[in-house]
Structure 1
Amino acid sequence: MRTEPITIDGVAGPVVVTTGRFGGAARVEVNGEVVPQLGDRHHRLPATGGGTVEAVVRGGTFDPYPTVEVGGVKHRTGPKVNGVVQALAFAPMIMAITSGLVGGLVGLAGVLANATLLRSRLRPGAKVLAVIGVDLAVIVVAVALAMAVRHAID
């Protein structure tokens, strides 16, 4: 996922963070140039007056947008997502944890689909409806697969 450019005081240009779908190291760009990574989450950004400033990129477990911390100040790279919507988006994880292999895979697919929806540019209301739709689809698919397996066994 590539974030929209954000402006951070003291940094010489707009900052864009690119993260993988499954986590991993983030790539940070300033003015379209990839900046050096100092460690797992630490990057060196060009400063406004010359030199560099250190930044830490953190991704939240249930927050689809990473934050960039510079000088102790956290900067969001995307809009704040309502806690209820986050809970709905990760509800299929219950199936992934409590079900068998097939139900777990269906639940995991639902969580990944919802995480993608949360990062999308849909309007907030459309995101909520889409997330609820994915949650319902996960339930329907899991029940259908369970019935098919039971029918095959009988």
Structure 2
Amino acid sequence: MELGTILKADAVKTISSCTSKKRLFHDLGELAEASYDLPASTVIDALIEREGLGPTGVGQGIALPHARLSQATRVYGLFLRLEKPLQFDAVDRMPVDLVFALIAPQNAGVDHLKALALVSRTLRNGSICAKLRANSDPATLHTILTEMQSSQAA
């Protein structure tokens, strides 16, 4: 599995201002609807429900919200770069500025876990995160995420 197979170029966005975690989930829901034709309200509700089980802020300014949806036919990725970091109840209590969300089918099982591990591994790379933080153009962000990851596999 490669990030390029789960993350479409139009599912990457830079947001100048986000005031709350709930607003962030709304932005992700709207992006999921625009990019993958998933119902925004269902995505939002699923992300909020999953977040209720425990924060998905993994530290170092990174959040990996994820949810399962019956409407999803495969694993879908969404990436947001926040120009103004947002408090997210992350494990290290640091605000979040890089958000990679995953939406998976209800019965995705191993594919969902593989995608989550892949995204986590990619965003643990300090040089990738530095490049993501230094750029705001969505096409450039998509290229950084997909090309860096595929070149590591080679």
TM (normalized to structure 1)? 0.28
**Where is the helix percentage greater, Structure 1 or Structure 2?**
2
TM (normalized to structure 2)? 0.28
* Structure with max Cα Rg: 1
Higher relative contact order (CA 8 A, sep 6+): 2
